């Protein structure tokens, strides 16, 4: 519903049309009309139609159309940990497939695998079976480069954003190349040339699923800021427990913990939200809550002339039908 203080008129001079109202009322009295209620509805409809001629506008809360969701899934070795059952990676895969299943048919989704490097394993598509297959076949590898995962996800759904993937993922090499060149570009970091307001891109969203540990690739927080500059929100889901568990691999034992701080910070920077997945029973609550938050609503100034025209014509037709039913004529 629009708030009354937000209503404005594009053609306020058409308010002069309301001068017809006293004339109509006077004519009805002069003709000694007896169908008072139909006449009242007819008059009300006429007033609404005259107001519609001013082309009124109001600020409405409208849902935005989501077009692409990228699922960046941590496939590093630490996701083998079973401090959440059945394991972090299996819980993440279940969450990812639930999100895929719940999205409307017109929304395209893609999958990025994030380990020592990040790779696009499924380009954005509306084929749900292909997405589920890609999620089920994620290989676990050494290392974790969450920053790279964000970059690959951004580049996959916003190919025209002007991102230089090589510069973002390998900033040291890019800096060396720029220092050796006399024609260094004005965009040395590979960041977007045009920056948007955070969360202003309502058609694209990233869902990052991880235990929060990142030990390779570009700085995760800096890459979150790149996403914010593109107006893309990142929703993060943490898997594991703060106390963690001990993993044994290749004769080495290491304790792996859920690091919530970077996941919360990523969500904060991009105006997304952080969720923690502690058990399979919580997955349903998470994707239901996530589904409501992914589709943003925004205040937008919109013309409401059509609404008034429909209402006015409806009142006039009801009044005419009522009067014909009673007297066989219109008023």
Interval 67-102: pLDDT, tens: 899 999 999 999 999 999 999 999 999 999 989 988
Express each pLDDT in 220-268 by its tens digit: 999 999 999 999 999 999 999 999 999 887 778 889 999 999 999 999 9
56 and 169 co-located in one domain: no
**Tens of pLDDT, residues 124-144:** 999 999 999 999 999 999 999
Residues 228, 310 share a domain: no
**137 and 222 belong to one structural domain:** yes
Confidence (pTM): 0.70
- Residue range(s) defining the domain that contains residue 220: 68-295
The full 3-state SS of the chain, as one line of letters, equals CCCHHHCEECCHHHHHHHHHHHHHHHHHHHCCCCCHHHHHHHHHHHHHHHHHCCCEEEEEEEECCCCEEEEEEECEHHHHCCCCCCCHHHHHHHHHHHHHHHCCCCCEEEEEEECCCEEEEEEEECCHHHHHHHHHCCCCECCCCHHHHHHHHHHHHCCCCCCCHHHHHCHHHHHHHHHCCCCCCCCCCCCCCCCCCCCCCCCEEEEEEECCCCCCCCCHHHHHHHHHHCCCEEEEEEECCCCCEEEEECCEEEEECCCHHHHHHHHHHHCCCEEEECCHHHHHHHHHHHHHHHCCEEEEEEECHHHHHHHHHHHHHHHHHHHHHHHCCCC
Same domain (yes/no): 52, 140: no
Mean pLDDT of 180-198: 65
The overall average pLDDT reported for the chain is 86
Whether 201 and 305 map to the same domain: the answer is no
| 186 and 311 belong to one structural domain | no
Q: Are residues 56 and 127 in the same domain?
A: no
Looking at the fold, whether 107 and 252 belong to one and the same domain comes out as yes
What is the total count of domains within the chain?
2
Same domain, 233 and 138: yes
Whether residue 286 sits in one domain with residue 193: yes
Q: Are residues 195 and 218 in the same domain?
A: yes
User: Any idea what the CATH number is for the domain that residue 107 is in?
Assistant: 3.40.50.410
């Amino acid at each position: 519903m629009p708030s009354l203080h937000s209503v404005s008129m594009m053609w306020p001079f058409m308010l002069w049309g309301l001068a017809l109202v006293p004339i109509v009322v006077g004519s009805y009295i002069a003709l000694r009309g007896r169908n008072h209620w139909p006449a009242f509805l007819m008059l009300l409809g006429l007033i609404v139609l005259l107001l519609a001629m001013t082309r009124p506008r109001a600020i409405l809360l409208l849902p935005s159309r989501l077009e692409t969701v990228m699922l960046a899934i941590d496939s590093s070795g630490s996701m083998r940990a079973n401090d959440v059952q059945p394991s972090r990676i299996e819980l993440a895969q279940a969450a990812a497939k639930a999100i895929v299943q719940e999205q409307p048919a017109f929304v395209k989704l893609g999958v990025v695998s994030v380990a020592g490097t990040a790779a696009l394993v499924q380009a954005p598509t509306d084929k749900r079976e292909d997405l589920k297959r890609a999620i089920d076949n994620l290989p676990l590898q050494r290392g974790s480069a969450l920053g790279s995962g964000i970059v690959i996800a951004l580049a996959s759904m916003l190919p025209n954003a002007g991102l230089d993937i090589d510069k973002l993922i390998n900033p040291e090499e890019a800096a060396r190349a720029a220092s050796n060149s006399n024609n260094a570009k004005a965009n040395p970091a590979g960041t977007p040339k045009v920056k948007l307001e955070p969360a202003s891109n309502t058609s694209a969203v990233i869902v990052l699923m991880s235990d929060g540990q990142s030990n390779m690739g570009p700085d995760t927080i800096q890459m979150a800021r790149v996403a914010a500059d593109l107006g893309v929100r990142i929703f993060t889901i943490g898997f594991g427990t703060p106390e963690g568990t001990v993993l044994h691999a290749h004769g080495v034992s290491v304790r792996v913990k859920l690091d919530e701080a970077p996941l919360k910070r990523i969500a904060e920077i991009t105006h997304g939200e952080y969720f923690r997945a502690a058990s399979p029973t919580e997955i349903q609550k998470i994707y239901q809550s996530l589904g409501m938050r992914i589709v943003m609503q925004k205040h937008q100034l919109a013309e409401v002339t059509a609404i008034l025209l429909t209402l006015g014509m409806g009142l006039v037709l009801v009044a005419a039908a009522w009067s014909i039913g009673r007297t066989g004529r219109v008023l």
